Amino acid sequence: MADFKVVWSDRSLIDLKSAYNFLSENSTQAATKTVQSILDRVAQLESFPKSGPIEQSLKRQKKEHRYLVEGNHKIVYRLEKRRILIVRVFDARQHPRKLN
């Protein structure tokens, strides 16, 4: 089976940068480590695109969303043909309504 290509939405890149900026206020090393662990986790989707469970809070949307968890972050994505669109990188300590 051919691998899927990961594509990051503008919103997910903003989320990732915001996570880095927030964490780097205390430690650039911790911020770098967190972002790298998120990137490493996303890389698994290239070979195992359905490895994340369905995101129940987004079921009302027309497209199926899935997620992975890495540390305190929920990585929300959806499959689109042969690509994986990363929709959000959400700090799970926030209120779930902010995910929408």
Task: Identify the domain containing residue 26 by its residue range.
Answer: 5-99
Find the distance separating the first CA and the last CA of the chain, reported in whole Å: 32
> Quick one: DSSP state of residue 54?
B
Rounded to 5 degrees, φ, ψ at 16 are -65, -45
pLDDT for 95 equals 46
pLDDT for 56 equals 86
Beta strand spans in the chain (E): 5-8, 66-70, 73-80, 83-91
What domain count does the chain have? Answer: 1
pLDDT for 91 equals 85
CA distance 97 to 25: 26
pLDDT for 62 equals 83
Amino acid at 49: P
CB 84 within 8 A of CB 77: yes
Which stretches in the chain have pLDDT values below 50?
1, 95, 99
Assign residue 74 the CATH number of its domain. Answer: 3.30.2310.20
Please report where in the chains the tokens 């650039």 appear, as a residue: 28
